[in-house]
Amino acid sequence: MIINQYLDATYLKTAAQANISEFENQQKVLDLVDEAISHGYKLIMIRAKYISTAKKMLSESNSEVLIGTVIDFPEGNSSIENKLEEAKKAIFLEADELDFVINYKAFKQGEINLIKEEVLACTRLCIENNKGVKFIIEVAALSTAEIIVISQLIKEVVLTNFEATVAKKVFVKSSTGFFKTEHNKPNGATLETMKLISENAKPLQIKAAGGVRDYGTALKMISLGVDRIGTSSAKEICTKQEINSTEY
């Protein structure tokens, strides 16, 4: 197993969030692109404003690394129409995969039909444009029962409305990594939450995001059926595998 191809190397902070200049923030993105080319990650996850520059760098390097971006990030409470408009702009910029923050607050309030409509519309837009689609459910905001229900709901909408082959292009993703929890509780993927998603979302793809920072945890995630790992520690994870492979 080559772990590199499970990794979505991620940098999604704005300059303000990182407390640095826009120039410095863009440089972080460029450094991530260089790193992805060197290590052969599956994808880099960046803000839409950097897609064109990253695309040019990848093309010049003949790299097969994909580009993903986030939609309605990190709150997820925009209208379906606004989500689709933002997604269309990302598609125009030639993003390969779009990660939508699902309206998890509306879900928690029982607005199930809204969530079904959102999943259907966003999936249809991406599939029609040959793009991968991920739905971020924000596990830290949900109870165990809610994680099960929303994972099943997304699966049901996709399998009911699209051919089975589409399931390989649709992901249920754990987290934004930006959710504020109380008492320093985990705000991203845990082994427990990813097990729940795997049991209830398959045959859709699943992505663990937030909190996967080391090789050992990444391996455990993959053993649970995780198909992709979003992490800001991709280099460290790959380096550990490289070290291990030279020891045998």
Domains of the chain, residue spans: 3-246
- Beta-bridged to residue 124, according to DSSP, are none
Q: What CATH number was assigned to the domain covering residues 3-246?
A: 3.20.20.70
Among candidate residues 8, 99, 134, 155, the one labeled active-site is: 99
Please, which residues have CB within 8 angstroms of residue 56's CB and are 6 or more apart in sequence? none
| 134 part of the active site | no
pTM of the full structure? 0.95
> Does 248 score more than 50 pLDDT?
no
> Which ranges of the chain would DSSP assign to H, the alpha helix?
15-18, 22-39, 51-60, 80-92, 104-108, 112-128, 144-161, 191-201, 215-223, 234-246
Give me the mean pLDDT over the 188-205 stretch: 97
Q: What does the pLDDT read at residue 95?
A: 98
Average pLDDT for the chain: 95
Least confident span in 22-31, 46-55, 184-193: 184-193
Q: Respond yes or no: is residue 173 known to be catalytic.
A: yes
Taking phi over 0 as left and psi of -120 to 50 as alpha, with beta for the rest, 183 belongs to left
User: Does the annotation count 99 as an active-site position?
Assistant: yes
Asked if residue 228 lies in contact with residue 207, where contact means CB atoms within 8 angstroms, the answer is: yes
pLDDT band of residue 246 (cuts 50, 70, 90) is: very low
The answer, yes or no, to whether residue 198 has pLDDT greater than 50, is yes
User: Across the chain, how many H-helices and E-strands are there?
Assistant: 10, 8
